[in-house]
């Protein structure tokens, strides 16, 4: 089974082509998109190039996968629209997975491979703008339990939640990943630095294609794919236009002159 998946929820995009044989996943090719370019200029080009690199035609794809956010409104619209259009036109299933969970899963997989007996709190946070971060956290032992909580919160609130977890368990260490951990340094410095794990993980602040492929595979094997129009973006909060509408700053419908 041939699957093509991508994530455009942040400035660093990922595209991956992989095969699924039963439960065995084999990565054929993965690309990281140029962080300096907008996804509308790069995504279709990258899809074309990755298909050429594995010598597949678009008609040979059996299913598509896409990161559904949370993240950039513009990036998500580009990634979701492209995925839904291709899946719909080719009548193939589409598997939507959380971009934030993909980031957190990648950090967990990399860390667990080098520290198999450790069970730290891993926090994934991405820049949500407007003084907030999109955040989720889990320990390696948490995966496979209930769906992980995700939220758009202020860095103060997130750091307070981490502080509480560290107070509840005096032996607990923590690891932070994602672009949201590089901003608001005064908040992150509130946490005990002697319990912070310093890990130089490759591409630790962005969703990587191979871990996106694993998340798509996990969801496909457990739930199957969906029809293209059933896959929705995970915004976690209302858009600026929706907030203006709620406050009465925009007309509720088309105006007439």
Give the CATH number for residue 38. 3.30.420.40
DSSP string, the chain: -EEEEEE-SSSS-EEEEEEEETTEEEEEEEEE--TTS-HHHHHHHHHHHHHHHHT--GGG--EEEEE--SS-HHHHHHHHHHHHHHHHHHT--EEEE-HHHHHHHHHHHHHHHH-TT---EEEEEEEEETTEEEEEEE-GGGTTSSPPP-EEE-HHHHHHHHHHHHHH-TT--EEEESGGGSS-HHHHTTS-GGGB-----TTTTS--HHHHHHHHHHHHHHH--B-GGG-----SS--HHHHHHHTT-S-SS----
34, 41, 80, 202, 218 from 9: Cα distances, Å: 13, 15, 10, 19, 20
- Both 213 and 91 in one domain: the answer is yes
- Integer Cα distance of 68 and 56 in angstroms: 25
Q: In this predicted structure, what is the pLDDT of residue 114?
A: 86
In the numeric block, which tokens belong to residue 78? 């580009």
Give the CATH number for residue 129. 3.30.420
Residue 71, sorted as left (phi over 0), alpha (psi -120 to 50) or beta, turns out to be left
In the numeric block, which tokens belong to residue 4? 């093509």
- Integer Cα distance of 78 and 73 in angstroms: 9
Q: Does residue 244 form part of some domain?
A: no
Domain hosting 176: range is 100-195
- Both 77 and 9 in one domain: the answer is yes
Angle at 14 between CA 225 and CA 59, to 5 degrees: 50
- Both 72 and 148 in one domain: the answer is no
- Both 124 and 44 in one domain: the answer is no
**First-to-final CA distance of the chain:** 55
- Residue whose C-alpha is closest to residue 160's, from 184, 178, 127: 184
Partners of residue 96 on adjacent β-strands: 66
Q: In this predicted structure, what is the pLDDT of residue 33?
A: 86
- Both 127 and 109 in one domain: the answer is yes
35, 45, 76, 96 from 40: Cα distances, Å: 12, 9, 11, 19
- Both 143 and 175 in one domain: the answer is yes
Q: In this predicted structure, what is the pLDDT of residue 180?
A: 92
- Both 134 and 9 in one domain: the answer is no
- Both 84 and 106 in one domain: the answer is no
In the numeric block, which tokens belong to residue 211? 């871990």
Q: In this predicted structure, what is the pLDDT of residue 146?
A: 59
What confidence tens digit (pLDDT) does each residue in 150-202 have?
Answer: 999 999 999 999 999 999 999 999 999 999 998 999 999 999 999 999 877 77
- Both 119 and 46 in one domain: the answer is no
Residues of the chain with pLDDT under 50: 241-245, 255-257
- Integer Cα distance of 244 and 39 in angstroms: 27
- Both 91 and 104 in one domain: the answer is no
Phi and psi angles of residue 66, each rounded to the nearest 5 degrees, phi first: -150, 140
């Amino acid at each position: 089974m041939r699957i093509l998946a991508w994530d455009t929820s942040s400035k660093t995009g990922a595209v991956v082509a992989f095969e699924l044989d039963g439960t065995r996943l084999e990565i054929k090719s993965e690309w990281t998109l140029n962080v300096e370019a907008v996804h509308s200029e790069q995504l279709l080009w990258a899809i074309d190039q990755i298909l050429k690199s594995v010598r597949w035609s678009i008609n040979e794809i059996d299913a598509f996968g896409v990161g559904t956010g949370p993240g950039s409104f513009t990036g998500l619209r580009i990634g979701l629209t492209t995925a839904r259009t291709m899946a719909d036109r080719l009548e193939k299933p589409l598997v939507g997975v959380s971009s934030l969970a993909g980031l957190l899963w990648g950090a967990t997989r990399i860390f667990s491979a080098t520290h198999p007996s450790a069970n730290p709190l891993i926090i994934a946070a991405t820049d949500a703008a407007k003084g907030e971060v999109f955040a989720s956290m889990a320990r390696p032992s948490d995966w496979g339990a209930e769906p992980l909580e995700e939220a758009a919160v202020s860095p103060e609130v997130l750091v307070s939640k981490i502080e509480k977890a560290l107070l509840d368990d005096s032996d607990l260490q923590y690891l932070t990943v994602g672009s949201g951990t590089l901003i608001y340094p005064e908040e992150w410095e509130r946490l005990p630095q002697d319990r912070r794990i310093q890990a130089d993980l490759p591409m630790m602040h962005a969703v990587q294609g191979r871990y996106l492929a694993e998340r798509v595979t996990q969801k496909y094997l457990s739930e199957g794919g969906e029809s293209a129009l059933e896959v929705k973006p995970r915004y976690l909060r209302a858009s600026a236009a929706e907030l203006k509408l709620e406050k009465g700053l925009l007309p509720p419908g088309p105006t007439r002159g």
